Amino acid sequence: MSRRITIDPVTRLEGHGRIEIFLDDDGNVAEAFFQVPELRGFESFCVGRQAEEMPVLTSRICGICPEAHHLASAKALDQLFGVVPPPAAVKIRELLYMAFFVADHSTHFYALGGADIIVGPDAPVEERSLFGVIRKLGADVGQKIIDCRKRNHQVIKILGGREIHPVAGLPGGWSKRVSRDEQLELAELARRNVEFARFTLKLFHSIVLNDAVWMEQFSSDLYLHRTYSMGTVDDSNHASFYDGMIRVVDPEGDELARYQPSAYAEHIIERVEPWTYLKFPYLKKVGWQGFADGIDSGVYVASPLSRLNAADGMGTPGAQEEYDKFFETLGSGRTVSGRWRPVHHRLATHWARLIELLAAAERMQELADDPEITSAHIRNLPEGPCRQVGIGSLEAPRGTLTHHYETDERGVLTRVNLLVGTTNNHAAMAMSIKRAAQGLIKGGEVSPELLNRVEMAYRLYDPCLSCATHVLGQKPQPRVIIRSCDGSLWQTLGEM
Could you say which residues in the range 342-361 bind another protein, by CB under 8 A?
none
Task: Tell me: does residue 111 bind another protein (CB under 8 A).
Answer: yes
- CA distance linking residue 373 with residue 376, whole number of Å: 9
Q: Site residues for another protein, window 271-290 (CB under 8 A)?
A: 271-277, 279, 282, 288
Contact status, residue 301 vs residue 230, Cβ threshold 8 Å: yes
Buried b (16+ CB within 10 A) or exposed e, 268-301: bbeeebeebbbbbbbbeebebbbbbbeeebbbbb
The distance of closest approach from Cβ of residue 83 to another protein in the complex, given in angstroms and rounded to an integer, is 8
Number of residues that bind another protein (CB under 8 A): 113
Which of 222, 229, 218, 352 shows the shortest CA–CA distance to 295? 229
DSSP for residue 207: I
Q: How far is the CB of 442 from another protein (least distance, A)?
A: 18
Burial group, residue 30, by CB count within 10 angstroms (0-12, 13-18, 19+): middle
By beta-carbon proximity to another protein, the closer residue of 305 and 457 is 457
Distance of CA 421 to the CA centre of its chain: 5
For residues 318, 324, 329, 335, the Cα torsion angle rounded to the nearest 10 degrees is 160
Is 477 among the residues that bind another protein (CB under 8 A)?
yes
**Interface map 35-54 toward another protein (x if CB under 8 A):** x-xxxxxxxxxxxxxx-xx-
152-211: which residues touch another protein (CB under 8 A)?
Answer: 153, 157, 160-165, 167-168, 170-172, 175-176
| C-alpha angle 397-190-242 in degrees, rounded to nearest 5 | 35
Q: Which CB atom, from 43 or from 211, has the smaller least distance to another protein?
A: 43
CB of 311 to another protein, least distance (A): 27
Query: How far are the Cα atoms of 244, 319, 326 from residue 350, in angstroms, in the given order?
Result: 24, 15, 11
Task: Indicate whether 8 belongs to the interface with another protein (CB under 8 A).
Answer: yes
Choose, by CB under 8 A, the member of 213, 410, 443, 486 that binds another protein.
410
State the nearest-atom distance from the C-beta of 254 to another protein, in Å: 24
Range 46-105, binding another protein (CB under 8 A): 46-50, 52-53, 56-57, 60-64, 66, 77, 81
Q: In the 3-class helix/strand/coil scheme, how is 441-483 assigned residue by residue?
A: CCCCCCCHHHHHHHHHHHHCCCCEHHHHCCCCCCCCCCCEEEE
Helices then strands, each counted (H, E), the chain: 17, 15
Closer Cβ to another protein, 443 or 494, answer by number = 494
Compute the least distance from the CB of residue 248 to another protein, in Å.
Answer: 17
* Chain residues 235-274 in contact with another protein, contact rule CB under 8 A: 265, 269-274
Site for another protein in 427-466 (CB under 8 A): 452, 464, 466
Smallest gap from Cβ 437 to another protein, in A, equals: 14
Among 238, 353, 479, 483, binds another protein (CB under 8 A): 479
33 binding another protein? (CB under 8 A): yes
Is-contact 196 106, C-beta < 8 A? yes
